[in-house]
Every structure is written in structure tokens, then in C-alpha cells.
Structure 1
Amino acid sequence: MGKRKQKKADQFDSSDADSVSSSSTAFSELTLAQETERVDSQEFSLGNYLDALYEKRGSTREKALIGLLSAFEGAVLLDFIESRCITLLHQYLNSIKRGSATEVCLAARAIGFLSITAGNGDNTHEIMEDSMPSLSRALISGPDAVRISVLDCLAIITFVGSNNWEETETVMKIMWEIIHPKSLSKAGTIIKPSSAVLVGALSAWSFLLTTLHGWRIDLDMWTEMISFLCNLLENGERAVRIAAGETIAVIFEIVVAGKLSSLTSDLGSTEDIRGKPKWFIYLLSLKEKIMLLVSNLSMEAGGKGIDKKCLNMQRDTFQKIYDYLKEGDQPMTSLKLSKKQGVLTTSTWTELIQLNFLKHFLGSGFLKHAQDNDFLHDVFDLKPDAENGLSASQKRIFRSSGDRERTVVLNKDRRMGQIRKGAIMSVDEE
């Protein structure tokens, strides 16, 4: 009776295994087919968006740009742009040349996404070079929304595509002319940017400053810049003050503490300044003024009708700047990306400015690009996800393979533990 039951059980196990295997195979094939269909459907949609960029109707091109931006936010589309990168670029530039303000803003952001998706290489340098003339014209003549979008785009394509500091410096000079205009208009008055444009220009300029490497020291230039930024700390617009403060922090980190360290002693001390060059004494006085302003801004009182969220942001930002200028304490931040990649951390003003700007530009696409974009992995020194680029069926195979490896290791550890336990028991018995 026992044997008959065993036989019945064996028969059941065999058929059950075949059934499970068959179901598993069918499920895998179905999933693979669905995954292929999804990829093909996305490729079809992206192709339609690209075709629509050739249309004469502006509203049609705008809808196509919105569709493309949504796709580029949701995934790192390297395969799609591999043979279409320059084609996409030229259509985006065409939208900037002849489109409405809305279309220009969308196209500028699309160029930035194209560059950051392509990453380092010849294509991104070509994107930067080919885009500069059209973007520069739009920056001069466009409304505020256009100018802000173009500033963001210029910052991104230069950050990704610049081959040397001279190229980056050229773009930064264009931005600084917006921040601190010196030329007079025909009416004889200085054309000042709006607060929104000024904030955009300061953010873009300081973002590019974080790439500073080799350069010629121009002490007059840097002290003039710091002096002007110091004056902006007294601006009535809170957003302008915050942007100016962060820019000052980056300048002190990279230029003063980094590049001028061989020419300066301790800027934190007013002792024995006799015999120091005039620029050093001036820079020291600027730092003292900045610290006083920063300290006051970190403790600014609230009041009725004040935006508390923005006020708290100002207090927090300027407390960090004060701690850095006073004690050298760096701003520490962290951002969780995924279980496998863990947490993205920053520990310098350079890293914080880069993180904030890229989060601002990528918007809802930041997390996806931080997880899957090789360029961002290089910027933030992130470990890429091993499952990046795999289909759903490939991910299951990869995970099951990892599970098997973990099982083997656990079994080996268990056996070794049993051997050690047996050896201890043998010793005790002796």
C-alpha cells in the first residue's frame, strides 16, 4: 500500500512539474511578447512625434515636443537617438527659430534632454556648437519664459558637451552679461533683467562654475564679481538673495579656497594684514561684509503675509553658507534613489549646486535618469543598476540567477557551520 501511494505521488509530482514548466514557459513567452510589443509601440510613437516636427502648424509641433519630452523624462532613450540625434537637434532648432514662445521653451528643454541622454561624446559637442547661434538670439530677444528656458538649456549642453574651459567660459560670459549688464541701451539706461531671469542666470552660471579647472587668474575680475553678488544679497527678492548666496558659496569654495589658495593666507583672520596686496585686503573686507549679511538673512524674522516656506528655505540656505564661511562646514545632503543604488549624497557646495540644478532641469525625470543614465552616474559617482536596460523577462532571469547564487552561498555557510559544530562536539566528548 505504501508503494502504491508512493507511485501515485511520483506520478502526480511528474505531471505537476511538467505543468509548472509548461506554464512558466508560456508565461515567459507571453511576457516577452508583451515587452516587445511595448517597445515597438513606444518606437512607433516616438517616430510619429519626430515626423510631426516637420509640420507647418505650430500647435502640431508643440504637441510633438510635449510627447517627446514626456518620453525622454520617463526613460533614457539611447537606442532611439543613436541614429537620430542630429536629426532631432535640427528639428528642435527649427522650432526655436520659427516657433511661438511656448514652442521655443519646449524645444530648448528638448535640446537639453537630448544632450544629457547622449552623454559625453562627439554628438553632445556638436549639439552645443550647433545650438549656440539660435539659443543666443532667443536669449537676447525672447520674453522672460524663453530666456529662462534658454539659460537652462545653455547650462546643460555646455556642462555635458564642452571640451575645455575656454568653451565653458564663453558661455558663462554670455550669462554674466545678463546678471550684470554694463552696456547702455539707446535710451541711455542700463537694461536690467527681471528677478526671474536674474535667478535663472545666477543658477546657470554657478552650475557651470562647478566645472572650473584650468584658468588664468584675474583677481580684479573675481573681486568685482564677489562685490556685485554681495550687493545682490540686499535685493528685495528672496529668490535672488538665495541664488546670489549660493553663487558666492561656490566662488569661495572653488576660486578663493581652491584656486587662490596659493596666493592667500587665512581669509578668516584680520591679524597681520600689513604688507598684504590690496586685492587681498579688499577680499577680506568683502568676506566680513558677506558674513554679516548672511548671518542676518539666516535669522530674518517673519511677519504677516510672508511665505513661510520660502522664508525657511532662505534661513536654512544662509545658515549653511554662514557655517561654511565661518567654520568651513560643508553642506551635507542625501537623496534615496533605489534599493540597489542606495542614497545619493553630497558633501560640498559644488555637488549640491550640481544636484539642485539637474533636479530642477530634469524635473520628474530626475530619479529615472539618476538610476539609469551613465552620464549622471559619472557626475555623482553612482554605481549603475545591474538590471539597467534589461527587459522584464531578462530581469526575472537575472534575479533568479542571483537567488541561486545566494542559495549556494547560504548552503555552503550552513554546511561549514555544521562541520564546525560537529568538530566542537567531538572535542567536548573527548
Structure 2
Amino acid sequence: MQRFIDTITHVFTAGGQHIGGLPFSDEDTSMETLSHCSSLSDLNSAGGVIIADDAAQEDFQYKLRGYIDSTVDKSAKTRQGALDGLKTAMATRVLYEFISERRMTITDSIERCLKKGKGDEQSAAASLACMLCIQLGSGMESEEVLKTLKPLLASILADTSAGIQARQAVAKSLGLCTLVAEDDILDVQTTMERLESLFVRSYTRGDGTRPAVSPQNSLLHTDALLSWALLLTICTASQIREVLCKHLPKLPSLLESENVKMRIAAGETIALLFELARDMDADFEFEDGEALCDKLSALATDCTKHRTKVDRRKQRSVFRDVLRAVEEGDFQSETIRFGTERMTIDSWSRKRMYDAFREFVGTGMNYHLQANEFIRDVFELGPMLADSATLKTMKVSRFKRHLYNSAAFKARTKARNKFRDKRVDVGEF
């Protein structure tokens, strides 16, 4: 029987494939490797997987250090690539310890690129500043980052000679960085006023005429409005009352914008304001509520042919929800699933926050919901689950699973074929 046991422990891969960093051939025999193949369901016992992940983690950090060094390169293209590389890394992993040790260096690099860079480089630097705050979370470290970078961000935002894309990126970043790192409500209000100074330029004038706004400036005003709405979610009751008096009568004029993104941003901001107003006063009524509902209803059923089908479909979907929010105070809840957990988006405030984080984190949002303590605190998800905290480092890639399964299958098939071969001397078993 020993011969059969020896035979079945062989692990093969065609052409000397590498599994977990080790080369294998038809002559290789490894009981340890077989244990990896047979216990994929128990990652803690798959020592080779952890070793491979440790090596990958070391290589990953080496690349990050290279990106940080390249942010001071003479080439603008190289600097921008390094900034984008760091942002992508921060969006896909939680790197608090690594980043915390290099916070000042990264902040200095962002500051330098914002000062000396142009256009795309400034955009990349502004976005990285936001990801840096998301990684560091709420506290002294992110406060120091914002304190250093806010004057530059505010200057670019107000500079009409700066590139529109850079100003858009700054508008987005300034809002979310303020949400994460600013602890003084008066400073929050100052940032809101900076953002407000942009989108009010799209309001209808006092005489009823519409200002001429270029498509690029319309996108800038849209991003400023969305960041401003994000900060509304952390305003005091007195600030919200002031905003309701000042902006709610004027925001409906943005529903007539030629830009579909502006129309949708205005509609969602109006729904958010109604929600915040009713949180303070359940009997809140808007003086021009009937006219507003007529506009929202028209947008919810818009069939204008000069607009694309995609724009019309998206607009109708959003404005059905906005109309329901204004008329009935209702919100169409949405469930977000990540790992073994789920989160319900059950209000316009929560939706605005989720959309803002997702815009920066992108496809890494589900991972950050599992493993980023700050984002979990924002959405009241409680402590990290044990399996969520280690998910990224313990997960076996699909390709690696394929190699393990192939090796196990070949070993099992060859062993069984030999066992069934009539030429095998049964007496030897």
C-alpha cells in the first residue's frame, strides 16, 4: 500500500509551471505542496500562500517607495505617473502604517506638484491629497495635511487662469478633505463659501435671464455644487436654516441647465435640503413647492429628443426619486453588499457621502468598507470583522487557484491510472 501512497503524493504541472513561487516538474515530489492543493478552503494552513503574499507585499511597498521618489523627478510626465500610481495604490489597499511613516514626505510632494505643476499634474496631486486624508482618517495627521495644502487648493480653485480640470479636481478634493479632516465648523463654512462662489454663477439672474456658461465651466460648477452639498451633511441647524433661505429659492433654476450632470446634481441637492429641513421641522413647507414639483415632474418624464437616450434614462430615474423626496419625504433605499456584510443607503445625506467616497476610491470602495476603520466609522459599520481585516492579504488569486487545482488533478489522475493498470503487481501493494 505504501507504493500507492507514494504515488498519490506526487504533484505535477506541465512544462515546469511555477506555483506559489516554486518551480515544479514531473519529477518533483512534495508533500507540503500537496497540502496546499488539498487545503485551499483553509487559508491559514496554506503556508505557501502566505509566503507568496508576504513577498508580494514587500514588492508592493518597494514600488510605492519608487513612486514617492519619482514625485520629485524633473519630468512632469514622470511626476504625474507617480502621483497616479500612489492614488491607485491607496484606493485599492489600506496602507495606514506605511503612509503614516511617510506622511510629511508625501504631503511635501503634493504641495510641490500643486505649486509647480500644471493641468493634469495638479489634478493628480489634488486627488492624491484626498486619498491621503482618507487613508489617515479623522485626526491630527489628516488635519496637518489639510492645514498645509488648503491654502494652495483654495488658490487654484479661485484662479480663473488655472486649468479647468485642475480646478474640478480641487473642488472635489477640497470638499471631501474638509469632511474628513476639518474639525472647526467655521472653517467648514469658509470652504463652503469658496465652493458656493462658483456654482452661484450658474443661477438665473435677478431679471430672469440665464448666464452664458461654457460646458467646461458648467462641469466645474457642478463639482463645486456636489462638494458643497457634501459639507451640508455636517452643518449645524442654524447653518442649514441660513442655506434654506439663501439657496433653496435659487437652486431650482439650475434644473434648466443644458448640462445633464448639473441638472441631476441640482435635483439631488434639492432633495438633500428638503431632507435636512424636515429633520429639523417635520412640517417644513417650501413656498414655491408646487412650481418646483412641476419642474421635477417634467424632468422625471422628459422625452426631449435632442438629449441622448442615456441622458434621458438617467435623468428620469433620478428625478422620479427626487420628486418623491420633495412631495412625500421618501427615499428609495439601496443595499450595498461587501464581503459578508451589507450596508443600507437610506437617506440623501448617506447617499451624498457614499457617492463622494466612491468617486475617489472607485472599485476599491467595497474593500475600504471592509478594512478602512475611518470609512466604517463614517457609515456606522462597527468594528472590522476578522475575515474582512485580512481579506486582501489572504485571498488566493483565480490564476493561483487554477494552478493548484491543475496540479492536484494531474497527481490524482496519474495515481489512479497506475492503480488501475493491469500491469501493476497487485501483490506489491
Query: Does TM-score exceed 0.5, indicating one fold?
Result: yes
Computing the radius of gyration over CA atoms, which structure comes out larger, 1 or 2?
Answer: 1
SS at match of 1:335: strand
Match of 1:140 in 2: 158
For residues 25 and 299 of structure 1, the distance between their equivalents in structure 2, rounded to whole angstroms, comes to 58
> Which residues in structure 2 correspond to 1:79-158 (within 5 Å)?
79-141=97-159, 142-158=162-178
Is 1:165–1:214's contact at 8 Å kept on the other side of the alignment?
no
- Show structure 1 runs of 4+ deviating over 6 A: 391-396
Deviations 1:229-287 (A, max 9, x none): 01111222222111111111111111x2123x2xx8452xxxxxxxxxxxxxxxx3222
Deviation at 1:351, TM superposition (A): 1.0
State how far apart, in whole Å, the 2-side matches of 1:363 and 1:25 are.
33
Partner of 1:390: 390
Matches within 5 A, 1:69-88: 69-88=87-106
Q: Deviations over 1:93-129 (max 9, x none)?
A: 1101001211100111111110001111111111221
Instruction: Between 22-31 and 51-60, report the one with greater CA deviation.
Output: 22-31
1:321, 1:176 → 2: CA distance?
A: 22
Task: Give the TM-score normalised by structure 2.
Answer: 0.75
Q: Which runs of 5+ in 1 are unaligned?
A: 1-7, 183-189, 268-283, 397-430
CA distance in 1, matches of 2:391, 2:359: 29
Shift of 1:28: 4.2
Aligned ranges 1:26-425 → 2 under 5 Å = 28-141=46-159, 142-181=162-201, 194-213=217-236, 215=238, 219=242, 221-254=243-276, 256-259=277-280, 261=281, 265=283, 267=285, 284-303=286-305, 305-338=306-339, 340-341=340-341, 343-382=342-381, 384-390=384-390
Separation in 2 of the partners of 1:358 and 1:57?
A: 31
Using a 3 Å threshold, how does the CA distance of structure 1 residues 191 and 84 change in structure 2: closer, same or farther? farther
Report if the CA contact (8 A) 1:127-1:157 is conserved: no
Amino acid at match of 1:333: E
**CA distance, structure 1, for counterparts of residue 265 and residue 165 of structure 2:** 18
Aligned length: 356
Q: Deviations over 1:358-397 (max 9, x none)?
A: 222222322222222111211222353322443889779x
Matched residues in 1 for 2:392 and 2:112: separation? Answer: 38
Identity %: 25
Tell me by how many angstroms 1:191 deviates: 9.5
TM-score normalized with structure 1 length: 0.75
Cα gap change, 1:79 to 1:388, in 2 (>3 Å): farther
Deviates more, 1:140-149 or 1:354-363: 354-363
CA 1:197 to 1:25, structure 2 compared with 1: closer, same or farther past 3 Å?
Answer: closer
Q: CA deviation at 1:31?
A: 3.0
Give the letter for the 2:292 counterpart: I
Contact 1:387 1:395 in 2 (8 A): no
Aligned partner letter, 1:178 = L
When the two chains are superposed, the root-mean-square deviation of aligned CA atoms in Å is 3.0
In the alignment, is the contact (CA less than 8 A) between 1:86 and 1:123 conserved in 2?
Answer: no
CA distance in 2, matches of 1:266, 1:51: 55
Distance across 2 between alignment mates of 1:258 and 1:372: 31
Alpha-carbon deviation of 1:336?
Answer: 2.4
* Whole-angstrom distance in 1 between the partners of 2:272 and 2:219: 21
C-alpha deviation, 1:315, in angstroms:
1.1
Report the Cα offset of residue 224 of structure 1: 2.4
Question: Once the two structures are superposed, what CA deviation does each residue of 1:306-347 show, in whole Å capped at 9, x if it has no partner?
Answer: 311221111111111111121221221222222x12x32211
**Distance change in 2, residues 1:390/1:368 (3 Å):** closer
Relative distance call for 1:214 and 1:302 in structure 2 (3 A) is closer
Q: Which runs of 5+ in 2 are unaligned?
A: 10-29, 38-44, 203-210, 397-429
Cα 1:55–1:21 change in 2 (3 A) is: closer
- Partners in 2 of 1:222 and 1:180 — Cα distance? 14
